[in-house]
Chains A and B, each alone.
Chain A
Amino acid sequence: MENTVEPSQQDAVLRRRNSTGRWIEFIKKNYFLYVLLAPALLLTIIFKYVPMYGAIIAFKDFSPIKGILGSEWVGLKHFEKFLSSPNFDVIFMNTLKLSFFGLIFSFPVPILLALMLNQLRKAAVKKNIQLFLYAPNFISVVVIVGMLFIFLSPTGPINQLVIWLTGKPVMFMSQPEYFRFIYILSDIWQSAGWASIIYVAALANVDPELHNAASLDGANLLQRIRNIDLPTIKPIMAIVFILAAGGIMSIGFEKAYLMQTSMNLPASEIIATYVYKVGLQSGDYAYSAAVGLFNSIINVILLVTVNFIVKKLNEGEGLY
């Protein structure tokens, strides 16, 4: 048999495998792959993992002169300070509410859009509608918020309508009670179309014969959507939901920060904007790092929890 190897020969092979010679050979053969990987790996270690290490300043009284290592340990002092500060309840709840309502209201819209787009028979019409619906995704957050200020200003077009109806303008951008509504609605306006792509593509793969057979059996459109289309996109829905829920505490700093006015702070101050102000504007690095770390940890806990729940509900199909 050609696969049989003499015992002594086998030993030699094994010995060679265990020796450093094998490593030298391996590296000689594959070093270039590691060269290709090196830049990404190096930058990730420097700019992602070093800051994770740097986050220990959250447990120290950081002084720039003594540096990260030299500063004194203070344990959970900064965390206790944040948790017991009068701002905590407001900021924490603002963060949670903005993300939670954002998730609840933003999640279904792309699915609905995709189901609707899927019903269009003419490919050209569908393409053109998609072209328009995707466009806002490419507008910068600065421009989006700028447009909000323009449209919702006391003299802007929305208020001209409001004045015509009720006689007096509404101060949309300076009243806390409108903040979340405006934030979430404009978010849906900007990203729902784009977020529908992944569902549209999945639906396009449904065998038309399935729909055909179902309609011959007397199923109407709604029944076909419920029993054919929805099960098709269910796995994608689960993954999108887990990812969104995992990001619940890392809700976009940028938009909330740009939308902030001194008047709407009671609703618009979230953990991320607080970290920025306390840390970079006031220079209280250690405290601010503690608040940021608190946020990240909650985030990871949420991701793991939601993944666990969805996995249970979704017959063992989760993100990992």
Chain B
Amino acid sequence: MAVKHSRFDRFLLTLNAIFLILAVLVVVVPLVYIVVASFMDPTVLLNQGLSFRVSDWSLEGYQKILSNPAMLRGFANSVLYSTAFAFVTVSISICAGYALSENRLAGRHIFMTLFVFTMFFGGGLIPTYLLVRELGMLNTVWAVIIPGAVNVWNIILSRTFFKGVPNELKEAANVDGASDMKIFFQIVLPLSKPIVFVLALYAFVGQWNAFFDAMIYLEDSKLHPLQLVLRSILIQNQAAPGMIHDQLAMNELKRLSEMIKYSAIVISSLPLLVMYPFFQKYFEKGVMVGSLK
């Protein structure tokens, strides 16, 4: 039986719908602007703003960005870092989460406290940096993957997931004389596909969008991930550092740097944009599992 709405209620509901449509517009319009601008002739864009005439369109921005070696290398680096990071951090979280979900793990409260404490207090940037340097990890791929590999939140999520796995399954295997290792690899892991998938998505996206660790640990620009390349293009306005020196070319450089900003944003967001609508429900699931605790 549905709720009966008074006239006042219906007025509020109409208002509600209008506000929600406005909210969607506020979110969508800037994104659409970037996408449309990325296909525009930069001179037209600068002088007249957006235009929907085909003659004002151009693929020059994409040609330039796709022939930019730093950008391509950054893209490849980011694919590598994100995949490796997702693999490492998810493996660690799943294993730890499973161990902590078992009541027979003596000391599990101490371990949990040890993990959770790091969510609220840390040694800080400088001691961590000095440690990474001491370990000889500066300027290596490991610096962006290993120090951040333990994600306490992920451990809590997977622990919650494993607590929900019916004990009977494991007990049955136990009666059959299966070892812990066998139970983990043959019964628990296959069951945990959904949580593995959700955590891997989060880890991949997180690493894809990260720039800070790379900025402080990776001096060699050949190792830079996409976000650092983007930073130099979008924020430091260095479209092609050291490429053009003479004054005459300065204007061209400025035009170029404006033009490739839009296509750089689109290209860098493409993997996530493509993934997102399909995976939205998994991302949501991640939030929900965590809130159950």
Contact = CB atoms under 8 A, between A and B. Distances in A.
Contact of A142 (B5, B155, B235): B235
A13 interface: no
Interface stretch (B57-65, B146-154, B191-199): B146-154
Interface string B4-29: 11101100110011011001101110
Contacts of A211: 3
Contacts of B96: 36-37, 39-41
Contacts of B131: 46-47, 50-51, 54
B288 A197 contact: yes
Contacts of B241: none
Interface of A: 26, 30-34, 36-37, 39-41, 43-44, 46-55, 57, 68, 113, 116-117, 119-120, 129-136, 138-143, 145-147, 149-151, 155, 157, 160, 189, 193-194, 197-198, 201, 208, 211-212, 215-216, 220-222, 236, 246, 253-254, 258, 272, 275-276, 279-280, 285, 288-289, 292-293, 295-296, 299-300, 303
A280 B129 contact: yes
A192 to B, nearest CB: 9
Chain A, interface SS category: helix
Nearest to B12: A221
Contacts of A140: 208-211, 227, 230, 268-269
Given A47-B147, A116-B16, A134-B280, A142 B211 contact: yes
Contacts of A36: 95-96, 98-99, 184
Given A116-B19, A132-B27, 8 more contacts: A41-B114, A51-B122, A51-B127, A68-B130, A143-B269, A149-B234, A288-B126, A289-B124
Contacts of B127: 50-55, 57, 289
A280 B4 CA distance: 63
12 contacts: A46-B131, A51-B123, A51-B127, A51-B131, A131-B277, A133-B24, A194-B287, A201-B287, A211-B3, A254-B211, A276-B125, A279-B125
Contacts of B235: 142, 145-146, 149, 258
Nearest to B1: A212
A21 B49 CA distance: 80
Nearest to A50: B131
A38 to B, nearest CB: 8
